[in-house]
Amino acid sequence: MASIKRHASAAWHGSGKDGAGSLTTQSATLKDTPYGFNARFGDGKGTNPEELIAAAHAGCFSMATAFQLSGAGHPPESLHTEATLTMEQVEGGWKIAAVHLVLRAKVPGIDAAKFQELAAGAKANCPVSKVLNATITLDAALE
């Protein structure tokens, strides 16, 4: 069985609230990218894990949808996905509770029912959807 491994690293200095960190990815798309409490729980500069998970989910779902559509004979002209991740405070900490995906697609020659079926399949089967322990909802529409 084939496998793929990807890696990223985080460096952190200081306390949880007053400290600061940086993230670096294997591809170097992120290289010493700052993150910290204010970027995560406020509107401070830098990124945060939840933003990166939302980006990963939007990208994974878009690619999975492209594969689903193409495999059914309807290669998309364009797909645009927004992922909104909701994190909620629960007893003992925080939890990623939900991700809402909004897909707007241009797909020549497909009917709405088939499009909805294929988009739902992509949502259920993209690897990021499978790893998240959260409610995942989808609003998909053809343009």
Enclosing domain of residue 14: 8-41
| 84 and 64 inside one domain | yes
pTM for this structure?
A: 0.93
Number of independent structural domains in the chain: 2
Q: Do residues 55 and 36 share a domain?
A: no
- Give the single-character DSSP code of 34: E
Is 104 within the bounds of a domain?
A: yes
Give the distance, in angstroms, between the CA of residue 38 and the centroid of all CA atoms in the same chain.
Answer: 21
Between helices 112-125 and 49-71, what is the axis angle to 10°? 130
pLDDT in tens, 58-108: 999 999 999 999 999 999 999 999 999 999 999 999 999 999 999 999 999
86 within 8 A of 99, measured Cβ to Cβ: yes
What is the tens place of the pLDDT at every residue in 23-61? 999 999 999 999 999 999 988 889 999 999 999 999 999
